[in-house]
Amino acid sequence: MKSFIKWFVTSLKNKSVKTKVLGITIGLVILMALTSTIILREILVVKLSEDLDRRAVSIASDLSARGTDYTLLKDIVSLNNLIQDTMSNNPDIEYIFIADENFNIVIHTFGSDFKVSEKLININLLDGNPEKYSHQLVTFQSEAGTIHDVISPMLEGEVGFVRVGLNEKQIYKTIDEITFIIIISTISVGFIGFMISFLLTKVMYRDLNHLINVTKKVGAGDLQCKVEINSKDEIGLLASEFDTMIKRLKYKNEENNKYLNVLKLRNSELSLLHQLAVSSVDLHNFNKHIESTAIRLMEELNLNSCFIELNLADERISTFKGRSNCAVGDNKACENCLFFRENNVLHDKQLYVPIKAKTEIGQINVCFGNKPDETTKKFIHSFSRQLSVIAENARLWKEVKYKEELRIKLLERVITAQEEERKRIARELHDETSQSITSIIVGLTLLEEQSVSEKMTQDIVDIKEVSQKTLDEIHYISWSLRPSVLDDLGLLPAIKKYVIEYMKKYDIDVDIQVIGFHQLRLLSIIEVTIYRVIQEALTNAARHAKAENISIILKHVNGIVSVIIEDDGVGFNAKKVLNGKLTKDHLGLKGMQERIESIGGNLIIESNEGIGTTIYVKDIVIGDETNG
Ligand SMILES: Nc1ncnc2c1ncn2[C@@H]1O[C@H](COP(=O)(O)OP(=O)(O)O)[C@@H](O)[C@H]1O
Ligand SMILES: [Mg+2]
């Protein structure tokens, strides 16, 4: 039973509302018809049986009253007439028989050949006490059906007895007829009910179906569909609520789309500005960046044409991108966008924005597919401002670059002039001054030979000594100013020579390590620069550091030269010195830095007071190197 209910409930759940409604209607009609028929039949059986009993009693009493005389007179004909009369008026009478006081049958309705059986007579006998009862009712089963048998005594049984048997058959016939009518009317009512339910569910189902279809469409993202509201019942209410829901959803969707568009625009703006920012760093390819920016602008804002023009100090950058399907109609018109400005005519899909720095330095002239909204216009304006900043940056960068190039050129010239001057002084000292002092020494030697007194000889020897010292000093100075070995043999021999002289002079131990440098000759400017830096570093170590040991590493790897000079002296605050104001007294370190940078290298000084100083010369890319 449980599983049946479960099955019934699940199969009911899976059925459509239409089937459910129709099923329930038909089921209820059938159930009602069945129960009412059964109850009615039960009631009718009881009522009609009682009625049959009453009629049986009344017929028997009537016959006994009317038949008493005929029985006494033995008037069989009249009795027969009476019985036949009664029979014809009551079709459910199965039999009538009249017996005398001794229960001898006087007349009966079983036919002439038939004899009333003892058994039938004995079924209802008034218990041998006829004066006590007016009648007695007995119900029994016979082959013909259920019989309601009534015995009625005539003159308290002194004349005889009347027995009447009424068959229930007639009752059931009547009940069957009534049942038949009920069934027919039930079927008719059921059919009408079915038709009404069918039509009702059809109407209901049409609205529901419509709602289901709309729900499916909304589910698939179509918010344009309309909900029809055909009634004011629950389904109508549902439809109206659903309609409100779709409208809200549509509104929200539109809002979202609006925000999405703004976000998209912002995103494009950011990405474009980012692209511009990148281009501002890569100013070598500024033209290309402006061109790709114009293409991006076309894509992001769905432009028909885009013209960007920038007038930088010595350069004019202009780019034009256009699509064939211009807003105004054809190519020519799109090209016209560019010239509208000249005629001072702008159509409503065109936007001209000047790019201004201190003065107007360019323009953005765009032609939109659709009339642009305020956000888009603002975007173009902010884009133009950004472009002006970048253009200004580019201009400044070019200026700085130009000035830097100029400075380096000047520096090179100064260094070259300085070197030339040193060379000249060195040569002069060597060729002129040294020669003169040598002549003095030769003269003094001659004078010494001709000396007349010992004192004079001693004075001449003293002057010779001073002259010799001065000559040595001049030699050292001339060599320091520009050692010929640097020009003749190159950097490494020159440094080695310098170090030997230096150690002699200052009593400081200098260690030189050389990596990948043998026989390598570099550009004269590079050799001189490195030589001067080492010279300055060693001089500083001697003058300021109180160093005892110095190490020099000279390295050449893959066309890049680097030098490290390290001393174990007192150290100093390098940052302070390098970032401090330039004074004419302390130009050594700054000069070193400038010289190295002028040949494309980097100079880093690491020094801490009490620890020592390390100078790194890095990233010198050697150009036309020569070996040997
Ligand atoms: N190797 C060093 N050890 C200690 N102090 C140094 C060293 N090199 C430079 N200095 C400090 O830095 C200052 C600046 O040096 P420099 O620019 O060469 O100018 P100058 O040698 O003419 O003083 C020096 O006066 C000195 O105090
Ligand atoms: Mg110095």
Residues in the chain where the model's pLDDT stays below 70 = 127-131, 279-281, 283, 313, 323-347, 582-586, 623-628
Residue 538 domain boundaries: 486-628
Among 540, 575, 605, 616, name the best residue to mutate to test ligand 1's pocket (greatest count of ligand atoms within 8 A of Cβ): 540
pLDDT given at position 341: 42
Q: Which atom of ligand 1 is nearest to the CA of 585?
A: 22
CATH (domain of 565): 3.30.565.10
Does a structural domain hold residue 109?
Answer: yes
Q: How far is the CA of 346 from the centre of ligand 2 (A)?
A: 68
Q: 612 pairs with which residues across the strands?
A: 608
Among 589, 592, 594, 603, name the best residue to mutate to test ligand 1's pocket (greatest count of ligand atoms within 8 A of Cβ): 589
Query: Would you state the structure tokens that stand for residue 333, as one six-digit string?
Result: 């018109």
Does a structural domain hold residue 502?
Answer: yes
| Ligand 1 site, CB within 6 A | 540-541, 543-545, 567, 569-572, 577, 585-589, 613
361-390 burial, b for 16+ CB within 10 Å, e for fewer?
A: bbbbbbbbeeebeeebeebbeebbebbbeb
Looking at all shown ligands, the one closest to residue 612's CA atom is 1
Residue 495 — left, alpha, or beta (φ > 0 → left; ψ -120 to 50 → alpha)? Answer: alpha
Could you say which of 156, 180, 204 is where a domain stops?
180
What residues are neighbours of ligand 2 (ion), with CB under 5 Å?
A: 540, 588
**Quick check: helix, strand or coil at residue 143?**
coil
Q: How many domains does the chain fold into?
A: 2
Does a structural domain hold residue 200?
Answer: no
**Quick check: helix, strand or coil at residue 154?**
strand
Does a structural domain hold residue 474?
Answer: no
pLDDT given at position 331: 40
Residue having the nearest C-alpha atom to atom 27 of ligand 1: 544
Q: How far is the CA of 589 from the centre of ligand 2 (A)?
A: 7
Rg (alpha carbons) of the chain, rounded to whole number = 69
Q: How far is the CA of 594 from the centre of ligand 2 (A)?
A: 14
Q: How far is the CA of 532 from the centre of ligand 2 (A)?
A: 11
Q: How far is the CA of 547 from the centre of ligand 1 (A)?
A: 12
Q: Which atom of ligand 1 is nearest to the CA of 574?
A: 12
Q: How far is the CA of 115 from the centre of ligand 1 (A)?
A: 168
Cβ atoms of 92 and 172 closer than 8 Å: no
Residue 375, phi then psi, degrees to nearest 5? -60, -45
Does a structural domain hold residue 167?
Answer: yes
The upper half-sphere exposure of residue 308, i.e. CA atoms within 13 Å in the direction of its Cβ, equals: 26
Could you say which of 129, 160, 180 is where a domain stops?
180
Cβ atoms of 311 and 344 closer than 8 Å: no
Q: 512 pairs with which residues across the strands?
A: 552
Residue having the nearest C-alpha atom to atom 25 of ligand 1: 586
Does a structural domain hold residue 620?
Answer: yes
Residues across the chain: 628
CATH (domain of 45): 3.30.450.20
Could you say which of 130, 163, 180 is where a domain stops?
180
Does a structural domain hold residue 295?
Answer: no
Within 8 A by CB and 6+ apart from 506, the residues are 542
Does a structural domain hold residue 256?
Answer: no
